[in-house]
Amino acid sequence: MVIVMKPGVGQERIQTLVAQLERDHGVTVGVTNGVGCSILGLVGDTAHIDMDKLSLNDDVERVMRVQEPYKKANRKFHPEDTVVDVSGVPIGGGKFAVIAGPCSVESEEQIVGVARDVEAAGASLLRGGAFKPRTSPYSFQGMGTGGLELLLEAKAATGLPIVSEIMAPRYCELFEEKVDLVQVGARNMQNFDLLKEVGRLSKPILLKRGLSNTYEEWIMSAEYIMAAGNENVILCERGVRTFETYTRNTLDLSAIPAIRKMSHLPIVVDPSHAAGMYWMVEPLAMAAAAVGADGLMVEVHNNPPRAKCDGAQSLTPEKFRHLMDQLNPLVELMGKTLA
Ligand code: PEP
Ligand code: MN
């Protein structure tokens, strides 16, 4: 962190601030006296220093960070890629994992049927929402705990580990017991109480990017989970809000190389929620693989027109099989193998 002092501030006042910073924050401060003003360089762990408070000091002109505020998620302190193990399925490293399944669990027949289809096509994890974050309170809210039980039946039938979204801290115990990968949805990316609580689980976390969040805000949310003790975090780009209204969201493929540079955590892409239209899912999925994603999350439904949620963006099992066939040689070309 660098502090630029106002022109004309005397050495005595500078030394008072230096002593205060060293005492209060355990950092070492170097002073450079320029022609017009002095600059303080803070060395040490500055993550917990409140920049806004510092800039309230009458002698301070400007405060700048030269280090990222995230530590545990930072690639600088952890150069190698993290590989997250989801009940035996590796996410990250040289593997490409495909998470597939319906937006929401609707019935035993539906979830077991889709699970068998996606497993046969090469998916490595089964998704299905039991608790749904819907814009309208009158829309289908999910089957709740019963939905998790049906996911477990589908897991027993296929061997696929299961992924489902948690919406509130009070469900932590339930998800710890039932689910292999706990999803924190876009709408809850900055629900800090929830992040702290899932940070205490032993299960890995799939952290989706918020609807309008920057890379740094997203990584800071991962940092919350990691700081609470759970370092098994997978990031998921699912499109962000832009001025474009043709698609549901705009898939931000720049996120993949950017996150790779900023963090060591694995990153997967959800083209379904980005596009909002089934026919865009395959090209966007291919692009995600080509730009270096560690995997995909794709919505698949046995009867999209009758889906209780997100039918328009859901692939049929046939279209999903087509996607997997297209994807296979591309994944190989990228030097990876399907998980
Ligand atoms: C979902 O995966 O079903 C979902 C609601 O996604 P998102 O949080 O990205 O909108
Ligand atoms: Mn959905």
> In order of start, what are the domains of the chain with their CATH numbers?
2-64 (3.30.70.1140), 84-338 (3.20.20.70)
- Stretch 234-238: mean pLDDT: 99
Given a cut of 90, whether residue 35 has pLDDT beyond it is: no
pLDDT at residue 67, rounded to an integer: 87
Residues with CB under 5 A from ligand 2 (ion): 103, 310
Verify whether ligand 1 is closer than 6 Å to residue 308 (CB atom).
Answer: no
Nearest CA to ligand 1 atom 3: 103
Nearest CA to ligand 1 atom 9: 186
Verify whether ligand 1 is closer than 6 Å to residue 209 (CB atom).
Answer: no
Judge contact between 167 and 129, C-beta under 8 A: no
Verify whether ligand 1 is closer than 6 Å to residue 273 (CB atom).
Answer: yes
> Among 164, 213, 234, 238, which is best to mutate for testing ligand 1, by the most ligand atoms less than 8 A from CB?
238
Verify whether ligand 1 is closer than 6 Å to residue 203 (CB atom).
Answer: no
Give the distance (Å) from ligand 2 centre to CA of residue 310: 5
Per-state percent for the chain, helix, strand, coil, to nearest 5: 40, 20, 40
Share of the chain above pLDDT 70, in %: 100
Given a cut of 90, whether residue 254 has pLDDT beyond it is: yes
Weakest-pLDDT range from 55-69, 109-123, 126-140, 221-235: 55-69
Asked whether the whole model's pTM tops 0.85, one would answer yes
Judge contact between 34 and 3, C-beta under 8 A: no
Judge contact between 87 and 327, C-beta under 8 A: no
By CB neighbour count within 10 A (0-12 exposed, 13-18 middle, 19+ buried), where does 326 fall? Answer: middle
Distance between CA atoms of residues 219 and 120, nearest Å: 34
Nearest CA to ligand 1 atom 4: 185
- Stretch 239-260: mean pLDDT: 98
> How do residues 112-157 score in pLDDT, each as one tens digit?
999 999 999 999 999 999 999 999 999 999 999 999 999 999 999 9
